[in-house]
């Protein structure tokens, strides 16, 4: 299951346990269209059950990560302009499916951000487990400035990452953050000099791909499930996750390495 679909806007390949997803519309600041969203959805769905994939790395071509959904292209002409009600019909199967998939897949996701990450592009970064952004990257919620409301989970993700007050500053006042500020706020994992972003993100993805895959996936599941549970139900999930992870080959390898005082060699099993 290592062959993934690619299209003109999103390229996919698997190597050394990492699924590489590359946004490739640099002339449009990698704005995502309907085809690109569908390709990403298919990739995340497949990766969740692909035994060869142990981490996902989401990157881009050009100076910008992603300027959001290509709303200009969608409304460019009368022929492409959708009829009334299309947003309500379309979103559940497109971007409103994409972000939950990123959160629910047990494969850890790393994202590398340079230049603009706005709207849906920002939410892709926020839904990743480890986002590395250039110090001078520009993270922005453009919705208020364009006269409409956020989508693709922005109003759900941001309050959980930075609290309600700062989320309102970003979503309602439209404050733009640099990558360095985003890291200081706790919006993303870390920032790096622009020339080092891709290397840092690749290193993180490689580290994850070499880790105890079952344990890492279940830990991610616990973190996201725990946000909506009381302590008693969450502890029951922890017991289930520990039961499953303790039956993995990587657990046995971890104990053997501890006993033999040597580095671990996890196989993702």
For position 95, what pLDDT does the model report? 73
The CA distance from 89 to 244, in Å, is 39
Question: Interior CA angle at 158 toward 154 and 162, to 5°?
Answer: 170
C-alpha dihedral (158, 161, 165, 171), degrees to nearest 10: -20
Q: In this structure, are residues 224 and 197 in contact, taking their beta carbons and an 8 Å threshold?
A: no
Sorted by where each starts, the structural domains of the chain and their CATH numbers stand as 10-209 (3.90.226.10), 213-260 (1.10.12)
Q: Helix axis angle, 213-226 relative to 231-245, nearest 10°?
A: 170
Distance of alpha carbon 66 from alpha carbon 116, whole angstroms: 6
Report how far apart, in Å, the C-alpha atoms of 123 and of each of 21, 156, 214 are.
Answer: 16, 10, 26
- Pairwise CA distance, residues 193 & 195, whole Å: 6
| pLDDT given at position 194 | 96
Burial class (CB in 10 A: 0-12, 13-18, 19+), 193: exposed
What's the CA dihedral at 178, 109, 14, 54 to 10 degrees? 150
Contact (CB, 8 A) for 234 and 228 = no
pLDDT for residue 6: 82
What pLDDT does 1 receive? Answer: 44
Looking at residue 167, its pLDDT comes to 97
pTM: 0.91
pLDDT per residue of the chain (269 residues) written in tens, 0 to 9:
457 878 889 999 999 999 999 999 999 999 999 899 999 999 999 999 999 999 999 999 999 999 998 876 555 555 666 666 566 666 555 778 999 999 999 999 999 999 999 999 999 999 999 999 999 999 999 999 989 889 899 999 999 999 999 999 999 999 999 999 999 999 999 999 999 999 999 999 999 999 999 999 999 999 999 988 999 999 999 999 999 999 999 999 999 999 999 999 999 99
């Amino acid at each position: 299951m290592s062959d993934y679909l690619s299209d003109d806007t999103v390229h996919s390949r698997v190597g050394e346990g990492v699924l590489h997803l590359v946004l490739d519309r640099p002339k449009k600041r990698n704005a995502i269209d309907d085809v690109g969203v569908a390709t990403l959805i298919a990739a995340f769905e497949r990766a969740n059950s692909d035994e060869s994939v142990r981490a996902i790395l989401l990157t881009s071509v050009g100076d910008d990560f992603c300027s959001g959904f290509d709303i200009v292209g969608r409304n460019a002409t009368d022929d492409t302009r959708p009829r009334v009600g299309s947003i309500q019909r379309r979103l559940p199967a497109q971007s409103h499916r994409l972000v939950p998939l990123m959160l629910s897949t047990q494969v850890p996701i790393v994202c590398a951000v340079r230049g603009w990450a706005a709207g849906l592009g920002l939410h892709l970064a926020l839904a990743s487990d480890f986002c590395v952004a250039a110090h001078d990257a520009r993270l922005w919620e453009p919705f208020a400035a364009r006269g409409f409301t956020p989508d693709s989970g922005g109003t759900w993700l941001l309050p959980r990452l930075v609290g309600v007050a700062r989320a309102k500053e970003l979503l309602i006042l439209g404050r733009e953050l640099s990558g360095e500020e985003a890291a200081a706020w706790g919006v993303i994992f870390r920032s790096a000099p622009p020339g080092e972003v891709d290397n840092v993100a690749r290193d993180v993805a490689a580290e994850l791909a070499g880790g105890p895959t079952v344990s890492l996936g279940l830990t991610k599941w616990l973190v996201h499930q725990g946000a909506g549970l009381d302590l008693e139900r969450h502890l029951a999930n922890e017991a289930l996750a520990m039961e499953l992870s303790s039956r993995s080959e990587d657990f046995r390898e971890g104990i053997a390495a501890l006993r033999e005082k040597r580095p671990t060699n996890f196989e993702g099993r």
